[in-house]
Structure 1
């Protein structure tokens, strides 16, 4: 008899992708075509709780037709599920069209996010790309930030979510990933997340990152880029 799943991460894939997608170790991602009976997050509201937040964006998704975009989103969902499977606790993921917003549990630090979640997600993407043709390759930008957020029901809000969305759209990150044939992920850290790397806590140190300008909508500043 197979062992029951230990952990679950719910992701709405959206579009015309139907049916459950199994990925990782006992993680199920359910498309919007079938209602998921599990709540996306605990019912109790939360205010000013500290979380690591992460957002993703598929590079160049607009070049694909509907079938191609369904493929891109499915591969991204499976790769994120592989990352979530390495963490253990419940991970909240929310569909954002050609990307996903991820709010990690309070026990998950920036160190664990980078060393475990991001690395496992990138590893799953690389495995897919090794067997995929150029048309089905999936390259992703991932941004990481941390700060105080609020949750009402299953919905998260707060300035960190806005800032991480700006980081993932940094023009230099898009250009770097587009010209890097041997990379499938452009990882962009906020100044706050980069401080953790600077202290030497992560497996990959600060020398692997370079500063990039951030000027997206009303946000200006700096991010830190590493290609994986």
Structure 2
């Protein structure tokens, strides 16, 4: 039996494209070209030598083993925001079926680069499972305007995100990534560039709110509403609008007041895939 050489500890990046298999041949061809252009441009902007990456292509994405000395901090905190910006530029004006949206996973660990049919490594398996987890796919669906979502291993979150805070730690959502059919389960952290907000349980609930559904995480679309109480009356020259569901700040003329009664807590879908 061949002697097993010592592994190399490397930063690992797995990238997967949303809805690739649903495209026809022409759109798959265009998507692959655009994917390579975006990845190359992002690496050039960040000063990464992509020619030194050990890459295993997958058609709809890639597994990349980065060279020794690569900054974990730069990969974790800078790669995804740059990809998000580049993809937003690329996707502008394209139909929904032609747009490219990516799931990105980052992990690190020992890797054998001399495998006979790939790269033997538990760390490689983990980063691929993370990027394929239902929790990450749900996060990308939850924000249709997002171009990229990131998932990092628990170790990298605590070693990089919490320690250096180049990205705000509270904008990451802790999940348990599960793939039961693969016998995989791991704590990880999800970040959506430009659209992340604190977890719902970190936001104090306004007084007087009751649940339409039990707060057991079983319904990712649950909405809070106010319990019974006296209806407010108009005062002065203004008007009072009650039981209006609004997703943003609204204005109904001068001197009016609004009672907003609905607040969706969509982020629960990250932990409970649809």
TM over 0.5: yes
- Whole-angstrom CA distance in 1 between matches of 2:184 and 2:71: 25
Report how far residue 138 of structure 1 moved.
0.6
- Tell me whether 112-121 or 65-74 shows the greater mean CA deviation: 112-121
Report how far residue 143 of structure 1 moved.
0.5
The answer to whether structure 1 residue 87 and structure 2 residue 50 are counterparts is no
Alpha carbons 1:197, 1:205 under 8 Å: kept: no
CA RMSD of aligned residues (A): 2.1
Report how far residue 46 of structure 1 moved.
7.0
Map of 2:133 onto structure 1: 170
Q: Which runs of 5+ in 1 are unaligned?
A: 1-44
Map of 1:14 onto structure 2: none
The answer to whether structure 1 residue 219 and structure 2 residue 178 are counterparts is no
Q: Which has the higher contact order (CA 8 A, sep 6+)?
A: 1
- Whole-angstrom CA distance in 1 between matches of 2:77 and 2:189: 16
- Give the count of matched residue pairs: 184
CA-to-partner distance for each residue in 1:73-120, whole Å, 9 max, x for gaps? 222211111222223432222211211111111111221102333332
Report how far residue 147 of structure 1 moved.
0.8
Q: Secondary structure of 1:83's match?
A: helix
- Whole-angstrom CA distance in 2 between matches of 1:131 and 1:157: 42
Report how far residue 185 of structure 1 moved.
0.7
Q: Secondary structure of 2:41's match?
A: helix
Greater strand share, structure number = 1
Alpha carbons 1:53, 1:104 under 8 Å: kept: yes
The answer to whether structure 1 residue 53 and structure 2 residue 12 are counterparts is yes
- Whole-angstrom CA distance in 2 between matches of 1:177 and 1:224: 14
Map of 2:238 onto structure 1: none
The answer to whether structure 1 residue 123 and structure 2 residue 85 are counterparts is yes
Q: Which runs of 5+ in 2 are unaligned?
A: 194-274
State the TM-score, normalizing by the size of structure 2. Answer: 0.62
Report how far residue 196 of structure 1 moved.
2.2
State the TM-score, normalizing by the size of structure 1. Answer: 0.74
Q: Secondary structure of 2:112's match?
A: strand
Residues 157/78 of structure 1: CA separation in 2 closer, same or farther (3 Å cut) = farther
Report how far residue 178 of structure 1 moved.
1.5
